[in-house]
Amino acid sequence: MAIVTGASRGIGAAIARTLAAEGCRVVLAARSAERLTEVADELRAAGGDSLVYASDLREPDEPKRLVDAALGAFGGIDVVVANAGATKRGDFLELTDDDWADGFALKLFAHVRLVRAAWPHLAEARGSLLAIAGVGGRTPGAEFAIGGAVNAALLSLGKALAARGLVDGVQVNVVNPGAVRTGRLGARIESLAASLGIGNDEAAAKLASDLGIGGFGAPADIAGLVAFVVSPRGRYVHGSLIDIDGGQTKTI
């Protein structure tokens, strides 16, 4: 059984679909009950088994409640995919304290609480923890100060938990997606198009060129990697920070 946070759309929904297709029962967590239900209906139609858990994981008690709900429904936890969290882009000098606090509240602190609650059950199952961070944690940009800082914190946390995982038998890894065709990337392309007075296709091509890549990834690309890593086939992958970004990250 797998818990997937941020499972209502984009990369999280793709991960849930892929894990379910490989026979995993999935607990879908996010804030939107309506969107989660749509994903759950897709999984059910394909023969999958899932539980919808709609809540705001920024609330301190909610991660533990999510774990309790997963245990109540399925009796154990084999995989946790910590994917939830979007951070605000913008000029550093204009980002407020609230923007920073919100950026860390879901993507870092909520997942710290979730991992703490799920860890004994992952250890019992000799299971897998995988966090979705982002390449901004390796190469932050001027407009991505919050996201870069949060992602870098997740990379460090992943290494720390991997060391603990060697003791407790829990596999731990972090995946760093680059530019993936989600709603957030679409909004970024539209904003660039509007600011330059060009069409969306031209803006998309310019953005890809600026990032030094030949094109954008798809949520299914990330999901396929995640499914491999948390499966028995990927068990030797441990403590790894895996970039999947079309070559965007140029550093060693």
23-41 tens-digit pLDDT: 999 999 999 999 999 999 9
Query: How do residues 71-97 score in pLDDT, each as one tens digit?
Result: 999 999 999 999 998 899 899 999 999
- How far is residue 29's CA from residue 13's CA, in Å, rounded to a whole number? 10
Residues in the chain, overall count: 252
- How far is residue 235's CA from residue 127's CA, in Å, rounded to a whole number? 10
The pLDDT mean for the chain works out to: 96
Residue 252 pLDDT:
84
Q: Which CATH fold would you assign to the domain 2-178+219-244? A: Rossmann fold (3.40.50)
In the predicted structure, residue 211 carries a pLDDT above the cut 90: yes
Long-range contacts of 64-71 (CB under 8 A, 24+ apart): 64/113, 64/117, 66/3, 66/5, 66/27, 66/29, 66/114, 66/117, 67/3, 67/114, 67/117, 67/118, 67/121, 69/27, 70/1, 70/3, 70/27, 71/121
As a three-state string, the secondary structure of 195-220 is: HHCCCHHHHHHHHHHHHCCCCCECHH
pLDDT bracket for residue 146 (50, 70, 90)? very high
Q: Do 208 and 216 contact (CB within 8 A), yes or no?
A: yes
Every domain range in the chain assigned CATH 3.40.50.720: 2-178+219-244
- How far is residue 182's CA from residue 245's CA, in Å, rounded to a whole number? 14
- How far is residue 125's CA from residue 170's CA, in Å, rounded to a whole number? 8
- How far is residue 143's CA from residue 124's CA, in Å, rounded to a whole number? 42
For residue 152, give Cα distances in angstroms to 107, 216, 241.
11, 22, 11
**pTM (two decimals):** 0.95
Q: In the block, which residue shows the tokens 């709603």?
A: 183
DSSP tag of 182: S
Q: In the block, which residue shows the tokens 């979007």?
A: 86
Number of H helices, E strands in the chain: 9, 7
Residue 140 pLDDT:
85
Q: In what order do the strands lie in the sheet with 79-82?
A: 50-54, 26-30, 2-5, 79-82, 128-132, 171-177, 241-244
- How far is residue 86's CA from residue 104's CA, in Å, rounded to a whole number? 9
